[in-house]
Amino acid sequence: MSRVIGAEIAVKTLESEGVEVIFGIPGGAMLPFY
């Protein structure tokens, strides 16, 4: 089993809900999310 980081889980969840655009302040802990 491969490791999955929280950002990947969040992105997959947003994609499955049909979210195409998000807004935020990139940097630090949020960087993997983008």
| pLDDT for 19 | 96
CA distances from 30 to 1, 33 (A): 24, 5
List, in order, residues 6 or more apart from 26 with CB less than 8 Å away. 33, 34
d(Cα 3, Cα 19) in Å, to the nearest integer?
A: 24
Give the integer Cα–Cα distance in Å for 3 and 29. Answer: 18
Helix (H) or strand (E) run with residue 13 in it: helix 6-16
Predicted TM-score (pTM) of the model is 0.63
- Reported as a single tens digit per residue, the pLDDT across 1-34 is 789 888 899 989 999 999 999 887 777 777 777 6
